[in-house]
């Protein structure tokens, strides 16, 4: 594996790690519906705001979401909706595993 390949796969691993948590998958799925502020996401998830903020930071650092401060609230938006196609693929894997 050359340097460029290694770098590419390291980046893919970084993005996969960011998505490798049920709460973060939930957040990505919700942000596909519309933009949400931290308070709204916190209420939906049922966790404290610091925990939700950490999840949002992981997703933001991976380039999956972006934020936009509006007044006293920070709204989050799905920056790369293409990750949702991966959700569909994974749902097919689950379905296939259930049919074994």
Neighbour order of strands in the sheet with 73-78 = 36-37, 73-78, 65-70
Whether the Cβ atoms of residue 76 and residue 37 lie closer than 8 Å to each other: yes
31: domain CATH number?
A: 1.10.10.10
Write out pLDDT tens, residues 60-81: 999 999 999 999 899 999 999 8
Whether the Cβ atoms of residue 73 and residue 9 lie closer than 8 Å to each other: no
- Domain encompassing residue 90: 3-98
**Which residues does the chain have with pLDDT short of 50?**
none
Split into its structural domains, the chain has a count of 1
Q: Which of 61, 64, 63, 66 is nearest to 77 (CA)?
A: 66
* Per-residue model confidence (pLDDT) at position 89: 86
Q: Which of 46, 41, 47, 40 is nearest to 28 (CA)?
A: 41
pTM, two decimals, is: 0.88
């Amino acid at each position: 594996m050359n340097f460029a390949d290694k770098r590419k796969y390291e980046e893919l691993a970084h993005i996969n790690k960011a998505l490798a948590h049920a709460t973060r998958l939930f957040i990505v799925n919700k942000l596909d519906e519309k933009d949400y502020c931290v308070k709204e996401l916190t209420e939906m998830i049922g966790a404290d705001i610091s925990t939700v903020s950490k999840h949002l930071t992981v997703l933001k650092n991976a380039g999956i979401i972006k934020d936009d401060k509006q007044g006293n609230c920070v709204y989050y938006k799905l920056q790369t909706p293409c990750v949702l196609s991966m959700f569909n693929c994974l749902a097919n894997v689950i379905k296939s595993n259930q049919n074994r």
